[in-house]
């Protein structure tokens, strides 16, 4: 079965017992401290119960098959070009859920061919009630780094994880017990928002990935300048990790960066209508934010760029149908005015921006 997993394109495969996760108590404490932010679905009693007991997700579960798919691409993205958006590496290609689910279903069919057609299974990618990194460590795939992601000594941490719960009794792999982070704390020091409070202690409420993807409402004002031009996710804690130096690229062509994602410009994205957004991103991870979430993030990035060329696009944003877009466009215009106030060449910009903000800000702030 492991050979079949590799034939399907999975880079790693291991098997763990369907038991209470090693870090179950820490997870409960993490939720109680409110570090999950607005992700209330994580704290639902039924969801917590299933994460702490795999048998609650699949009756009679005995084994968990853990698989990993490398999504690393050497394209570092336009981090140094503030006029262009930065999208997390995992989201630069086709939606990985479709790719992963296809491979998981094929692996399940192989399992049934080996064990028997009456075997029961349940497969998840990253949406199921499973603490996948915990089980992956127990299955020998790697260790959980100080930035809370799973790290494999050969492939690094740019890995999608998936799992198949089954009532079949399979041979378990030896857990990965070494903590190879050592004294390194690069990820903690590099996080712009201070989201990594300590080794393996992430406050999602401060994480740029959470702020630009999971958070549905306004981004806290004090955190907006720290986001830079990241409009979907963040890789900073992985980019500085020494275990990601020289790791191989993905073998899956559908995970390669797409020009319509990596070649975009912020001003262009700010002009996307609903139908244009759907047509462009419906088969990518970016669809998760919906148009209003993406344009909220783009407005913040334009404000951080603070270039007068962004003013027309943001002015249109003040009149957008979505309150979230209007509010963040007003903030961005104010930031541009503030940043450019000392330049004689931008006096007109300052005056006009103040007029726009005065006329729209009250309504925008109510929406905000």
Q: What residues are annotated to the active site?
A: 126
Question: What are 190's two structure tokens?
Answer: 């590099």
Tell me the three state secondary structure of residue 275: helix
Distances (CA, A) of 314 to 295, 352, 354: 10, 12, 13
Distance CA 151, CA 145 (A): 6
Answer for the pair 151, 142: CB distance below 8 angstroms, yes or no: yes
Sheet with 159-166: strands ordered across? 12-17, 63-70, 159-166, 121-124
Is residue 67 within 8 Å of 30, Cβ to Cβ? no
222 token code pair:
């004090």
C-beta separation of 84 from 230 below 8 A: no
Contact 249, 74 (CB under 8 A): yes
Cα(first)–Cα(last) distance of the chain, in Å?
A: 52
Closest by alpha carbon to 296, among 189, 207, 214? 214
Strand partners, 201: 198
Q: Which bin fits 211, alpha (ψ -120 to 50), beta or left (φ > 0)?
A: alpha
- Give the separation between CA 164 and CA 81, rounded to whole angstroms: 41
């Amino acid at each position: 079965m492991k050979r079949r997993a590799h034939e399907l394109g999975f880079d790693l495969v291991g098997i763990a017992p369907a038991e209470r996760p090693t870090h179950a108590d820490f997870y409960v404490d993490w939720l109680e401290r409110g570090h999950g932010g607005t992700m209330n679905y994580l704290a639902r009693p039924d969801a917590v119960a299933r994460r702490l007991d795999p048998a609650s997700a699949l009756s009679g579960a005995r084994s968990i098959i853990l698989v990993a798919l490398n999504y690393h691409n050497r394209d570092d993205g336009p981090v140094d070009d503030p006029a262009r958006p930065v999208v997390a590496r995992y989201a630069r290609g086709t939606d990985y859920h479709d790719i992963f689910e296809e491979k998981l279903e094929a692996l399940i069919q192989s399992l049934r061919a080996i064990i028997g057609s009456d075997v029961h299974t349940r497969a998840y990618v990253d949406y199921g009630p499973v603490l996948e990194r915990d089980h992956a460590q127990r299955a020998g795939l790697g260790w959980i780094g100080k930035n809370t992601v799973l790290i494999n000594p050969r492939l690094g941490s740019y890995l999608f994880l998936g799992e198949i719960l089954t009532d079949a009794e399979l041979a378990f792999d030896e857990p990965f017990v070494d903590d190879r982070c050592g004294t390194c704390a690069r990820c903690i020091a590099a996080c712009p928002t201070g989201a990594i409070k300590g080794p393996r202690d992430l406050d999602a409420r401060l994480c740029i990935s959470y702020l630009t993807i999971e958070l549905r409402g306004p981004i806290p004002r004090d955190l907006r300048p720290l986001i830079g031009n990241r409009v979907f996710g963040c890789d900073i804690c992985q980019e500085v990790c020494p275990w990601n130096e020289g790791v191989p690229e993905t073998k899956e062509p559908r995970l390669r960066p797409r020009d319509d994602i990596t070649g975009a410009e912020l001003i262009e994205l700010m002009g996307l209508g609903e139908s244009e957004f759907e047509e462009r991103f419906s088969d990518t991870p970016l669809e998760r934010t919906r148009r209003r979430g993406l344009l909220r993030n783009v407005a913040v990035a334009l404000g951080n760029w603070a270039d007068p060329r962004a003013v027309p696009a943001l002015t249109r944003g003040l009149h957008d149908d979505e309150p979230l877009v209007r509010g963040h466009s007003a903030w961005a215009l104010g930031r541009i005015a503030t940043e450019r106030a000392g330049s004689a060449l931008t006096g007109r910009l300052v005056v006009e921006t103040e007029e726009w903000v005065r006329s729209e800000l009250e309504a925008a702030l109510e929406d905000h």
